[in-house]
Every structure is written in structure tokens, then in C-alpha cells.
Amino acid sequence: MDHCGLGAGISELRESDPLPDVARVLAYESVVESFFSRRTIIPMRYGCVVRDRPELAAVLDKYRKECNALLHRLEGLAEMGIQVPVELSEAGAEIGSAAIPPARFHGSNRSGASYLLAKKLHYGSADRKVERQNELVKTVCRPLAGLFVHRKVELPSSGTPLLALHFLVPRASVEAFRAASRHALQNESAKCLVSGPWAPYNFAAFSDGGGIS
């Protein structure tokens, strides 16, 4: 659909369509990648729905300025990703009682000195973990200097023990970026993954941090 200089790729859905499965999501992704291979796009994640074409036109009108600015920022760029496995219990025995949040420790031991020691160990361990993760980010990014224009970092969590880095890379530099990434990771775990180029999903936000919902 073309509307006053902006365009949107859309498809009609039946009300009886079931919840999306993996095949549907992959099909959606293939459509996004097809558009991305030919032009600069603002990729929207699966599940963005409008009632009809007039409502879509209203959305494009409302966000016209932000869309134009974002398309300008993304011109000629692609997203590359690097995922590095991180052992969340890497501190091992060093953590000891620090693995127990101070509040819980306090509940099982009323000693003020014990509570303060637990608090010191808990936050000291967290600080050391953050420092190690920051050093890992620097190690990965150092050989990539000059090959990307922006980056985002997702720190690991208990549900996702991966350090995920997302980079906006000039399309002409994708192969150089991939080669440099492999060099940067040669001393890291063999399970590290370099992926892309992708449509810039992780950078499809307006300058104020918002986006089209």
C-alpha cells in the first residue's frame, strides 16, 4: 500500500485465523527479508495489526515525520548479530552466600553483621559479573571498530544465558564485519554465533525511543 510517499507491506487476515505457529512466523520473516533485499525498510515484528486500509493510512499520517527520519537513519544499513554464551554461575564458589539476595538472608539469620556481610558479598559479586561482561563486550567490539555505526547490547539473564550484541553495519561492509567478528571470537567459546545481515529489527525505534504499536 502506497500512501503519500510512504509504503507498507500488508496482508489480509481472516478472523478465524489461528494463533501463529513457527511456520507462519518464518513466512512473515521471509516477506520482510524480501522487501529488505531491495530497499530500506522499518521492519515491524510479527503481530502488528490494523482493522483496515484507512486505519493504516491514519497510522502512516500520524508517524510520517518519525518514519521519514528513521528511514533516513537506516539508509544503506543492515543488522548483524553476535551471541556469546555466558555461564551465569561463572563465579562458582566465589559467590557463596552472595547467591542469596540479602533480604532473604536476613530473614533466616537475624545477625546484623551477617546481613551486612551477605549484602556486601551479593553486590560485590554482581559488580564483578558486570565488569566481566563489559570486558567481554569490549573484547568483541574492539576488532570491529569502524565497521559499524551503532550497537546495542542485551545482557544475559537467568532465562537467556547469552550476551547478545546487535550492530548496524553498512551493507557494503557486511563481509568485512563478518570476517572481523570471527577473528574477534577465535579465542572465545566455539558456540559463539555471528548472524546476519538482517533487517534492522533491533533499531526500528524512533529517536524518542518509541515506535508504531
Predicted confidence at residue 165, as pLDDT, reads 92
Give the separation between CA 174 and CA 80, rounded to whole angstroms. 8
Give the separation between CA 176 and CA 196, rounded to whole angstroms. 12
pLDDT of residue 203 exceeding 70: yes
Predicted confidence at residue 112, as pLDDT, reads 66
Half-sphere exposure of 25 (CA within 13 A, CB side): 7
Do residues 2 and 60 make contact, with C-beta atoms less than 8 angstroms apart? no
HEC secondary structure over 86-103: CCCCCCHHHCHHHHCCHH
**What is the model's pTM?**
0.72
Count of C-beta atoms within a 10 Å radius of residue 8: 19
Residue type, 167: F
pLDDT > 90: percent of the chain: 36
Q: What is the pLDDT of residues 99-156, one digit of tens each?
A: 445 555 455 555 666 666 665 555 555 567 677 778 888 888 888 999 999 999 988 7
Predicted confidence at residue 117, as pLDDT, reads 62
Give the separation between CA 144 and CA 131, rounded to whole angstroms. 20
Predicted confidence at residue 88, as pLDDT, reads 46
| Segment 18-22 mean pLDDT | 77
Do residues 82 and 197 make contact, with C-beta atoms less than 8 angstroms apart? no
6 or 108, higher pLDDT: 6
- Point out which residues pair with 151 in neighbouring strands: 167
- Point out which residues pair with 2 in neighbouring strands: 7
Closest CA to 84 of 190, 207, 180: 190
Q: What is the pLDDT of residues 30-74, one digit of tens each?
A: 999 999 999 999 998 887 888 899 999 999 999 999 999 999 999
Domains and CATH numbers, the chain: 2-74 (no CATH), 77-203 (3.30.70.260)
| Segment 15-27 mean pLDDT | 79
- For residue 150, the surrounding DSSP H or E stretch is strand 150-154
Which residue has 555466558 as its cell numbers?
86
Predicted confidence at residue 137, as pLDDT, reads 83
